[in-house]
Structure 1
Amino acid sequence: MLAEYAFPIMLAILLTITVTGTPMGLAMIASSVFYLAMSGRDVGLAAESVLNGIFGNFVALAVPLFIFAANIMNAGQISDRLLKFALALVGRFPGGLAQVNVLTSLIFSGMSGSAVSDVAGVGKVLTDMMTDKGRYPPGFAGAITAASSVVGPIFPPSIPLVFYALVSSTSVGVLFLAGVIPAMLIVAALGITVMIVSRRRGFPVEPAIALRAFPLIVLRAIPPLLMPVILLGGIYSGAFTPTEAAAVAAAYALLLSVIAYRALGWRAFYGVVLESARTTAVITIILCGAYIFNYVVSVERLPEAMLALFNSYQMEPWMFLLMVNLLFLVLGCFIDVSTILLVVVPLFIPTALLLGIDLNHFGIVVVVNLMIGLITPPYGILLFILKATNGIPLNAMIREIWLFIAVLIAALLVITYFPALSLWLPKVAGLL
């Protein structure tokens, strides 16, 4: 008798455990094991689902390697060279340092693939520079730092896109290429917004870099700038797989930091390894919980039920995409990105396929949604990180962030309803 109510009880347990502050990964594991026991299934299926998911998926190995590479970038002072390069390029425009902030996020995203790494690393440096001597209001500095960091997981390489590839059976290489033009669109939109706001509010312009100093700045920036070129070139030439590309990224970052720049000592390297291990452990727990939870979802046939629900409303592709946008914008404010990608997104993939929506385009739409959620109050994890690292009052950032959220949502709608922006490069490359 109780077996009939196993799933709703499991959801109630999941919600209760999560509200108490327990990490989502552990909450999914505990509630799913309870479901298996209550429904009369073998509890050992939980361990089997985890083992098959973790050890049976080569792509998952890319995640800790990209995390390691991003942490090396932050610790090895590589970001300093990129910052000076961006300053030389766009510092003379209205709102110079804010423009540098946006451009640096794009450049740094070609190495880290993580919005959190962007905010905690080079974003902290930029925010301090902007607020120094009262040049920019702290709230504006924090808001543009958070808003520009969403580019990180859209431009390749991207940890969220690796997760999406895991659940959608799409190609990581195609997804990486599909994110290039949408990322450029977002950077352009933010840059134009910064220019308009800076002129209206009288934000300063940075002194022009002397022409004779420019070649040296470019030369010093070339080695780190080569990383995305090496990664994408290796993937699309067939020299290595996306997972092997993550290992190449980590090795290249280590080579630059330790040998070329001599900026990473043993103590700092130990800190990088420790931080990478901690982050990987958190993500692995979420992965384990997601694999068990997804097994329960498949047993309950939820994807089929959702597909039938959408069919009953005779939903058009544009309506489905609008609904997905609204749902994920809200979910991204409250739930961890990894959890949404691994648990919620698979429920919508069958419907997207039925409606003829390209799954690579759908992946870009989903990830852009979730990145906007990272800066949207009340949760807005990136805002909390900036508050912790820079001491900027949360209410000051919230007052300034709404304009950038509106710009990002406008860019999201363009990306959503013009799939060619995501699919043109993969088609040109012969991948679609």
Structure 2
Amino acid sequence: MDPFTAAVILIGFLAILGLPIGLSMISGSILYLFMRGQDMGLVAERLLNSMFTGYVILAVPLFILAAEIMNMGSMTDRLLRFCNALVGRFRGGLAHVNIVQSIIFSGMSGSALADAAGSGRIIANMMTRDGRYTRSFAAALTASAAVIGPIIPPSIPMVLYALVSGASIGYLFLAGIVPGLIMGVLLMVLVVYMSRARGFPVEEPVPLRELPALTLGSFPALMMPVVLLGGIYSGVVTPTEAAAVAAAYAFVISIVLYRSISVGTFYSGLVRSARSSVAIGMLIAGALVFNYVVTAENIPQALRIYLAEYNLTPVQFLLLVNVILLLLGALLEGTAILLIIVPVFIPTAAALGIDPVHFGVVAVVNIMIGLVTPPYGMLIFVMQSITRAPLRAIMKDLVPMIATLLFALGIITLFPDLVLWLPRQFGYQG
């Protein structure tokens, strides 16, 4: 059997048995090297070299820690009250609050799962209280809105894309802002339509005289994205250092200013952050090793030559990539797709003249939509466990929301100038 085929079969077999995908990829890579008669030490060498030179990887656990600290303290509650004061007065107000809080909270955690498990859990419980919204609708909307989290900076998937592509993290962060806002606005338009069709309730409006106090109370939390992005684009800190600043800022605000975290709670949060970081770190390690196998087989170059025979235009190529990534996103874990599959397409995208920052945003949006796409969509199962809504009902309510997100993906794919407009304002030459 061909060594590469044997490696892929072993990876799939071990993953089906329940072995973490990172360890499965390392095992498959070792089998490949053994069948090729190559030194097994290449696995360790590849891993260590990539880790020592991959300074950007440090941003991942730091963003996870920042999100965990915010979920532990009162920062999330303050932001939700602020969002409710802004848009809660309209029909379907809590549904709008759900989307707006995802847009605001996305500027802090960088993780869709962190958004759903933290602020998403709170707003979903608010929506289902007293039966104002069905549990399935609350679960579907919260999952769909959480997709915005890793699009608007900071973004852990953007960091991982920068790791495999060499693109600038700073420009990737900037490029995600407009697409994230497009997705949020389109979801809010959908909520307006569904609110009228289903007769969603109108919440009691928060008096405008209370808005200054609510704004003041949430102001330190609202300033976190400003501090984070301002530090990056002013040149004071690198994106990786900015992740450390984000964690430190969340710590100071939650413990010193808000005084909302105890020692025991903080320790539990550190443990959860460490476990999440180790899980992602193992996946990154496996992908780095397996990428050596992919490169050794010359698969990216072979794919580029194969696709060149069809004379695809950049738009046709992007649409093809969308279809492939959406199908894979329904079956595989998003981080694995980003670290293993996406790098295969990067040389072809470069050969077609597709901007690497635009391509990165398109790839990340695809992968995030996969989080709410049956049958694998992880966000579906997270929200089902939170709301206890029937899985079939959640998927039924997800249909128009996924269609809306796909429409947003089409805009992002076909109009690269929308994605690159903001990076160009800060000097990007792409």
User: Structure 1 residue runs of 4+, over 2 Å off?
Assistant: none
Q: Residue 294 of structure 1 aligns with which residue?
A: 291
What pairs with 1:185-224 in structure 2 (closer than 5 Å)? Answer: 185-224=182-221
- Residue 349, structure 1, aligned to residue 346, structure 2: yes
> 5+ residue gaps in structure 1?
none
What pairs with 1:365-404 in structure 2 (closer than 5 Å)? Answer: 365-404=362-401
CA RMSD, aligned part only?
0.8
> 5+ residue gaps in structure 2?
none
Q: 2:411 aligns with which of 411, 414, 419?
A: 414
Q: 2:303 aligns with which of 303, 306, 310?
A: 306
Counting aligned pairs with the same residue, the percent is 51
Q: Residue 184 of structure 1 aligns with which residue?
A: 181
Alpha-carbon distance in 2 for matches of 1:379, 1:326: 16
Alpha-carbon distance in 1 for matches of 2:37, 2:85: 65
Q: Residue 157 of structure 1 aligns with which residue?
A: 154
Q: CA deviation at 1:158?
A: 0.2
Q: Is the 8 A contact 1:32 1:293 kept in 2?
A: yes
* Matched residue SS, 1:421: helix
User: Could you tell me which amino acid in structure 2 is paired with residue 288 of structure 1?
Assistant: A
> What is the aligned length?
429
User: Could you tell me which amino acid in structure 1 is paired with residue 213 of structure 2?
Assistant: L
Alpha-carbon distance in 2 for matches of 1:250, 1:239: 16
Q: Residue 321 of structure 1 aligns with which residue?
A: 318
Deviations 1:334-377 (A, max 9, x none): 21111111111110000000111001000000011111100011
Alpha-carbon distance in 2 for matches of 1:100, 1:170: 34
Q: CA deviation at 1:320?
A: 0.5
Q: Residue 235 of structure 2 aligns with which residue?
A: 238
Alpha-carbon distance in 1 for matches of 2:28, 2:295: 15
Q: TM-score, normalised by structure 2?
A: 0.99
Q: Is the 8 A contact 1:10 1:32 kept in 2?
A: yes
* Matched residue SS, 2:119: helix
Deviations 1:184-214 (A, max 9, x none): 1000000010011001111011111112211
Q: Is the 8 A contact 2:331 2:376 kept in 1?
A: yes
Q: CA deviation at 1:81?
A: 0.4
Q: Is the 8 A contact 2:135 2:387 kept in 1?
A: no
User: Could you tell me which amino acid in structure 1 is paired with residue 113 of structure 2?
Assistant: V
Q: Is the 8 A contact 1:86 1:100 kept in 2?
A: yes
Deviations 1:81-119 (A, max 9, x none): 000000000001120000000000000000000000010
User: Could you tell me which amino acid in structure 2 is paired with residue 280 of structure 1?
Assistant: S
Q: CA deviation at 1:7?
A: 1.0
What pairs with 1:276-291 in structure 2 (closer than 5 Å)? Answer: 276-291=273-288
* Matched residue SS, 2:223: helix
Q: TM-score, normalised by structure 1?
A: 0.98
Q: Is the 8 A contact 2:109 2:149 kept in 1?
A: yes
Q: CA deviation at 1:389?
A: 2.3
Q: CA deviation at 1:431?
A: 2.5
User: Could you tell me which amino acid in structure 2 is paired with residue 253 of structure 1?
Assistant: A
* Matched residue SS, 1:93: coil
Mean CA deviation greater in 252-261 or 203-212: 203-212
Alpha-carbon distance in 2 for matches of 1:318, 1:330: 18
Alpha-carbon distance in 2 for matches of 1:431, 1:249: 24
Q: CA deviation at 1:319?
A: 0.9
Mean CA deviation greater in 384-393 or 357-366: 384-393
- Residue 271, structure 1, aligned to residue 268, structure 2: yes
Q: 2:39 aligns with which of 38, 42, 46?
A: 42
Q: 1:405 aligns with which of 398, 402, 407?
A: 402
- Residue 104, structure 1, aligned to residue 98, structure 2: no
Deviations 1:301-338 (A, max 9, x none): 01110011111111111110111000111111121111
Q: Residue 336 of structure 1 aligns with which residue?
A: 333
- Residue 55, structure 1, aligned to residue 16, structure 2: no
User: Could you tell me which amino acid in structure 2 is paired with residue 127 of structure 1?
Assistant: A
